[in-house]
Amino acid sequence: MTRILVIDDEPINHQLVGRALVSLQAEIHFAQDGKSGISQARNLKPDIIITDVMMPDINGYEVTRILRREPQFAGIPVLVLTAQSGLEDKLKSFEVGADDHLTKPFEPAELLVRVTAMLRRAEAMKGPFPQDPPNRLVHSFKPLVHDDCGAWIPADVALLLSVTAWP
């Protein structure tokens, strides 16, 4: 069964997200703040994480940044769901490693479609890939795709292999 973790300090948002995603028939878990969200993510190993930005202890950008540094979360989709709608806010979501950004208030159908697409993409990335890509492929893309630390993450390699016509 699909596991979804929603990190948001507002209980009303837990209800709204839960109702929007009910048709997925997924286990939906909720965390009230960034610290407990990180802890729950490590314990639950969710299939997708939805996080707010503005929370009292650790904001959603920092939650995303922390989780993205851990290998087990490299391929887990992260959706930032926030009231912050400016271009800089959206760009920051992607800069810290989020896969998508959706502004509150949101349309339930749009959230459902985005989450479904992200889950489908994550599942496709688990497909069979060659175990040992040639160094020429990895080195040719290294200056272009990397995380904040400059290190390759598994999702990068999987994406490169799926995009290129690997014989």
For 144-158, how does the pLDDT look when each residue is reduced to its tens digit (9 = 90+)? 444 455 555 556 655
With residues binned 3-state (H G I as helix, E B as strand, rest as coil), the percentages for the chain, rounded to 5, are 50, 15, 40
**Token pair in block for residue 137:** 């492929």
Judge residue 165's burial from the number of C-beta atoms within 10 Å of its C-beta, 0-12 exposed, 13-18 middle, 19 or more buried: exposed
- Please tell me the predicted confidence (pLDDT) of residue 162: 57
Instruction: Give, as one character, the DSSP assignment of residue 97.
Output: T
- For 32, half-sphere exposure in the C-beta direction (CA atoms, 13 angstrom radius) is 1
Q: Which of 49, 6, 3, 48 is nearest to 27 (CA)?
A: 3
Read off the pTM.
0.76
Whether the predicted pLDDT of 22 surpasses 70:
yes
For 87-130, how does the pLDDT look when each residue is reduced to its tens digit (9 = 90+)? 999 999 999 999 999 999 999 999 999 999 999 998 888 766 55
**Token pair in block for residue 88:** 């800089």
Rounded to whole angstroms, the Cα distance separating 47 from 6 reads 11
Rounded to whole angstroms, the Cα distance separating 6 from 41 reads 10
Domains and CATH numbers, the chain: 3-125 (3.40.50.2300), 129-167 (no CATH)
- Greatest CA separation for the chain: 50
